[in-house]
Amino acid sequence: MIDITLGHTPDSDDAFMFYGLASGKVSSRDFRITHIIEDIEKLNKRALNHELDVTAISVHAYAFLKDYIVLRSGGSFGINYGPTILAKKKILPTELSTKIIAIPGKMTSANLLLSLFSSPTKIKEIPFHLIPDAIVNNEVDAGVVIHELQVTYEQLGLHKIIDLGAWWHSMTNGLPVPLGINVASNKTLTLKQIRDFDTIFNTSIVYGLNNMEETLNYAMKYARGQTQNIILKFVNMYVNEITIDMGENGKKAIEGIFRLAREKHLLPKFPINFA
């Protein structure tokens, strides 16, 4: 039996994907799993310190990691949608470079997309769930929101300035926008063990999709006060065919965002290792 630490976020889509494993409905086979549940930027930092065997991270964070391999399963890709820039007052996208903009973390993919789109000079790191309040309370001029807030912002009277996922989709001739991935340490696990876990994770995701009602009920534990309809909409957005297996389109999207970041001198060149 192999003991592994498994990091994922307290978000409904992650909960949905891991339900099969967490509930025992899907066998973990030779793995004895300790689940570590923290927000994505904390997981990014824990991966940076190599504290976890397998973990969800932002795609952006992969640029700063060593000795981690990208799993084919469990990726979060937006298909013509993604992190969204909101503001209390209507402002033009071209004005964002001079505004104070809240981001959910420097290593998040939301921040990388913002930098690719606008190159802002004034950013403020705020926990993702507090960004809408920061906008409403005039602490920032605008903010990049992720998770369920992408579909509930109108309830707060906020304005959409731009959907960065839609911008990426149009700029890349239809590639999905790569937001989150799962990675495994090749310092603590062999390549065979990593691929075995990838297969198990794939099975957990498929189980969730084939058993929507019970899996959604579990995901509601992480709903942060949202209705089941909102959580279902969010899960349907980010648990899709590319989540089961990113395939060539997913790989192209990840390689593409890093290539563009290098061209804009935001990141150095580095190898991307897929399982």
How buried is 251 (Cβ within 10 angstroms: 0-12 exposed, 13-18 middle, 19+ buried)?
Answer: middle
Angle at CA 13, nearest 5°, toward 7 and 15? 55
Distance CA 45, CA 237 (A): 26
Please name the helix (run of DSSP H) or strand (run of DSSP E) that holds residue 16, with its range, or none: helix 12-23
Distance CA 157, CA 43 (A): 31
How buried is 195 (Cβ within 10 angstroms: 0-12 exposed, 13-18 middle, 19+ buried)?
Answer: middle
Contact 58, 177 (CB under 8 A): no
Residue 88: alpha-carbon gap to chain centroid: 25
- The one catalytic residue among 147, 159, 169, 265: 147
Give catalytic status of residue 8 as yes or no.
no
Structure tokens at 154: 């109108």
- C-beta atoms surrounding 2 within 10 Å: 16
Residues tagged active-site: 147
